[in-house]
Amino acid sequence: AALTPIGEPLSTITVSKMNKDFFYLIDLIGVETIPAVLIFGILSMFLVKPQKSSDGLKSEENSENYKEIFIRSAKIYLFVMGLT
């Protein structure tokens, strides 16, 4: 399953409505998708450079605790369960 807020429900609905097994989407588009993601990841390691200095806005990065992560994952699970 695709681990994004949109990808997870869509892939679950696709598999359930077509009456296919868990690995249907991997068998269907995995050969093209997985190498493409790996290639783009490797390319981004070499081609994307961070800025040396940024005079823009400064923001504080908020960290999440385990309780917030668990609650969010439970909400996503219940949402997907309600769709199928």
More confident residue, 22 or 31: 31
Exposed e or buried b for every residue in 69-81, given b needs 16+ CB within 10 A? Answer: eeeeeeeeeeebe
For residues 74 and 84, what is the distance between their CA atoms, to the nearest angstrom? 16
Q: Which residues have CB under 8 Å from 45's CB, separation 6+? A: none
For residues 48 and 42, what is the distance between their CA atoms, to the nearest angstrom? 10
25-59 residue pLDDT tens? 888 888 898 999 999 999 999 998 877 766 666 77
